[in-house]
Amino acid sequence: MQLAPSEIWFVCGSQHLYGPGPLKQVAANARAVAAALDDSPHIPVKIVFKALLTTPDEITQLCLDANADPKCAGLVLWMHTFSPSKMWIRGLTLLKKPFCHLHTQFNRDLPWGTIDMDFMNLNQAAHGDREAGFLHTRLRLGRKVVVGHWSDAEVQQRLGAWVRVARAWHDWQGARFARFGDNMRQVAVTEGDKVAAEIRFGFATNGYGIGDLVAKIKTISEKSVDALCAEYADRYTVARELRKGGARHGALRDGARAELGIRAFLVDGGFNGFTTTFEDLHGLTQLPGLACQRLMADGYGFGAEGDWKTAALLRAMKVIGDGLPGGTSFMEDYTYHLSPKGHQVLGAHMLEICPSIAATKPSLEIHPLGIGGKEDPVRLVFDAPAGPALNASLIDLGSRFRLIVNEVTAVKTPQLPKLPVARAVWECRPDFKTACAAWIYAGGAHHTGYSYSVTTEHLEDFAEIAGIELAVIDGDTKLRDFKTGLRQSDLYYALAQGLRV
């Protein structure tokens, strides 16, 4: 994936009460912790020791520097010793980057036989971080608190999860999403307030004429189309009729041309994702299916039927999961298996499922499509693998956004010889009836980001940074409590957010 360079600043708080000797030791210890975290295989972004901060002016300046540095995706704060928190008010009030509060201690085991007051005074995070936590809470600052020794793999994993999320949030700031055509007519859940989204999330969504895209597609050379068709032949099982010399090879070339044209449009405009709609295909020969599938696999966010919120969410999920096992795709709850032996969801779309979730070598095929009024589109057909996964949906409730997550267990896909699209089959947690009712009460969309690599912890961290509600449907969900939680959140966000959206 093409990601802008980013780093996380490691910042240690203290004060001058301790004298220069101990402060030197504190700085050396903080450097060692930052270096160990930077080396951790669980943390995919560079961790840079930035400063030992001991005065309000130093703290304020560091926060301003963090805001201004385009590489800084977030801060890890740790109070090795006691750092009186009023010193942090001015800086943290100005800070615009997300932060994670690492509640750790340099020393791991207490040396019971030799412990003296010097030792006690050097290892004070137990109360220093409580003083910090009070101020973070007093300022109502969203943050993640990670607790435990810094060498503990679980601590590094939790910090690593947040780092991934901070990088995705960083990627959203100033990101651009292109809409080819508007929303599918009359559809509600894919609509939303793009101004509110840009204020809240930092990305811009704008529309582009389908004619401009068609003009770009027309500039693609036959040589480039040849080369891409050869790549298809390398990577996929291409249907005989689509191969060179086959009766419908022209349709494959149209698909390749569309992919190259959309890709060029996105690269030229610096876009991180896009939407299409089958209701606006003027000048295109077929609904772009293969193109959307392959662009998603390269990390672009995508939403069908003008669904820009899902396109942006999918991009964020792709960045979060980058380098982790298991892929992430645009998805739609398509149809149900309601057997008394177990209820399941068959997820698919008309065409646009990302091959990053393919369990098997995708097959490149052509079939009729009843909607859109265009020629038959080419598409990749495959099964998604069994295993733990989740669906996530970002909705606009009018005055605010809500992120809904359902943990699911994907199962082996049955033989589906007549189904000409990519698909996944899953079982919902805690059970089908509870999960679907909760999803519907929460207002979750039929479109989702579906992932084997992104976890609920990631999305919890993401919602925290964004300052939006997270509604999780998992193995512990009880419907009555879930409904109560939604009502309480309505009230909380109305009060906490006030008139700002």
Q: Closest approach of Cβ 269 to Mn ion, in Å?
A: 24
Piece of the chain touching Mn ion by CB under 5 A; list 29-37, 256-264, 300-308, 361-369: 300-308
Toward Mn ion, which CB reaches closer, 26 or 369? Answer: 369
Piece of the chain touching Mn ion by CB under 5 A; list 195-203, 301-309, 314-322, 362-370: 301-309
Near Mn ion by CB under 5 A: residue from 11, 304, 428, 459: 304
Measure the CA–CA gap between 238 and 267, rounded to whole angstroms.
Answer: 27
Q: Residues 257, 283: contact at Cβ < 8 Å?
A: no
The 260-299 contact track toward Mn ion, x by CB under 5 A, reads ----------------------------------------
Q: Residues 326, 453: contact at Cβ < 8 Å?
A: yes
Helices 290-297, 249-269: inter-axial angle, 10-degree rounding: 50
DSSP 454: -
Does residue number 351 form part of the binding site for Mn ion (CB under 5 A)? no
Q: Residues 335, 402: contact at Cβ < 8 Å?
A: no
Q: Residues 375, 417: contact at Cβ < 8 Å?
A: no
DSSP 217-265: HHT--HHHHHHHHHHHHHHSEE-GGGSTTSTTHHHHHHHHHHHHHHHHH
Toward Mn ion, which CB reaches closer, 332 or 396? Answer: 332
Piece of the chain touching Mn ion by CB under 5 A; list 287-295, 326-334, 417-425, 462-470: 326-334
Q: Closest approach of Cβ 185 to Mn ion, in Å?
A: 13
Residue 428 phi, psi (nearest 5):
-85, 150
Toward Mn ion, which CB reaches closer, 125 or 354? Answer: 354
Q: Find, among 45, 28, 42, 74, the residue nearest to 148 by Cα.
A: 42
CA dihedral over 232, 237, 240, 241, signed as positive or negative: negative
Beta bridge partners of 410: 387, 426
β-strands 363-366, 378-381 pairing: antiparallel
Piece of the chain touching Mn ion by CB under 5 A; list 127-135, 328-336, 378-386, 427-435: 328-336
Residue at 497: amino acid letter:
Q
Q: Closest approach of Cβ 151 to Mn ion, in Å?
A: 47
Toward Mn ion, which CB reaches closer, 77 or 346? Answer: 346
Q: Closest approach of Cβ 447 to Mn ion, in Å?
A: 6
Toward Mn ion, which CB reaches closer, 332 or 461? Answer: 332
Q: Closest approach of Cβ 352 to Mn ion, in Å?
A: 8
Toward Mn ion, which CB reaches closer, 132 or 304? Answer: 304
Toward Mn ion, which CB reaches closer, 332 or 383? Answer: 332
Helices 456-466, 308-321: inter-axial angle, 10-degree rounding: 120
Q: Closest approach of Cβ 463 to Mn ion, in Å?
A: 24
Q: Closest approach of Cβ 187 to Mn ion, in Å?
A: 9
Q: Find, among 96, 90, 100, the residue nearest to 34 by Cα.
A: 100
Toward Mn ion, which CB reaches closer, 279 or 322? Answer: 279
Q: Closest approach of Cβ 319 to Mn ion, in Å?
A: 23
Q: Closest approach of Cβ 190 to Mn ion, in Å?
A: 8
β-strands 423-428, 342-348 pairing: antiparallel
Q: Which residues bind Mn ion (CB under 5 A)?
A: 304-305, 332
